[in-house]
Structures are given as structure tokens and as C-alpha cells.
Amino acid sequence: MRFNTIVSALCLFVLTGCGGQKLPEGIPKLTPAVLTITQDGAPLEGAVVSLIPMDPGNSRWNAGGVTGKDGKAKIRTHAQYDGVAAGKYRVTVVKTFVEPLPPGLTEAQRRSYKGPPPVEYVNKKYADRLKTPLEVEVGDSPLSESFEVEKP
């Protein structure tokens, strides 16, 4: 019985294309990439990481991810394809908290509500696509890079 289950699983794996992702026509080969973001030496969870192409030829291929509890962001192109096109990139990192609206507000109250200002967790220099000091170069080999970001 166990042997039949294993054989069935292997057949299903082969028939579904071995788990590879099908890329749309025109999209370049993507290289797996994981960026780790830390702050004060600890993983930064919930930060939005974006790769900004320095090569205009890659400008169509938006890539980025969100850090998990371990500070790691798995980079995806167009938020659905694993990896990023080869090239040089500036890296932006943003983590913002916006206070949610209080429950029970009418539509008019929602429109006029002035809550507290958003709280930024990362120095604004990392959010500026032209001024960020973080850069990465993606080649053909899987990429794993770490960056330390400062508080505001």
C-alpha cells in the first residue's frame, strides 16, 4: 500500500511538470533571490523590499517581497514569479504602520477622520529609489544577500 502511494505521488509530480513555474512569453530568465533585512542586528519583520533596476532594459520587471519573522524576503517578479532578472539593482526598504480606523464610524466620519500620523520603522533614505545606499547585482547563480538598515 505504501509503495503504491509513493509511486502515485511520483507520477503526479512528473505529470505536473516537476513543480517548475511557467513564465509568460517575453519575461527573461529569473534568478532565485532572497534578501535578509536586519535592524539593530535583529531580523526586521514586515518590511517591503523592492529591487529598482539600474538597467532601463529591466524596468518592465518589477521585483520585490516582504520580510518574514526571520527578516528574509523571497524576491518575486510581478509579485507572482519566483526570482528576478539578472542585472544591477538599487534596493529600497520600507516599513510603515498606519493606525486602523476605529470601528463603527459612519461614511462621513471615515472621510473626515484624522488619525495619528503613520509610524516609520526604517530611515527614509532606504525608501528613496535614487538615494538608497543599498545595491545588489543579480547574476545566474541564486542570490542571498543581507542588509542592515537604520531606524529613523
One DSSP character per residue, the chain reads: -HHHHHHHHHHHHHHTTTTPPPPPTTPPPEE-EEEEEEETTEE-TT-EEEEEESSGGGTT--EEEE--TTSEEE-EETTTEESEESEEEEEEEE-EE-PPPPTT--HHHHHH---PPPEE-S-GGGT-TTT---EEEE-SS-EEEEEE----
Residues of the chain with pLDDT under 50: 1-19
- Note the pLDDT tens digit of each residue in 95-123: 999 999 999 999 999 999 999 999 999 99
CA dihedral 110, 113, 98, 131 (to 10 degrees): 110
Tens digit of each residue's pLDDT (9 = 90 or more) over 22-32: 777 778 999 99
Q: What is the pLDDT of residue 20?
A: 57
Q: Amino acid identity, residue 68?
A: G
pLDDT at residue 17, rounded to an integer: 37
pLDDT given for residue 118 in this prediction? 94
CA distance 70 to 29: 27
What's the whole-model pTM score?
A: 0.79
Phi and psi, residue 59, nearest 5° = -65, -20
CATH superfamily placement of domain 27-148: Immunoglobulins (2.60.40.10)
**How far apart (Å, rounded) are the C-alpha atoms in residues 103 and 65?**
30
CB 51 within 8 A of CB 13: no
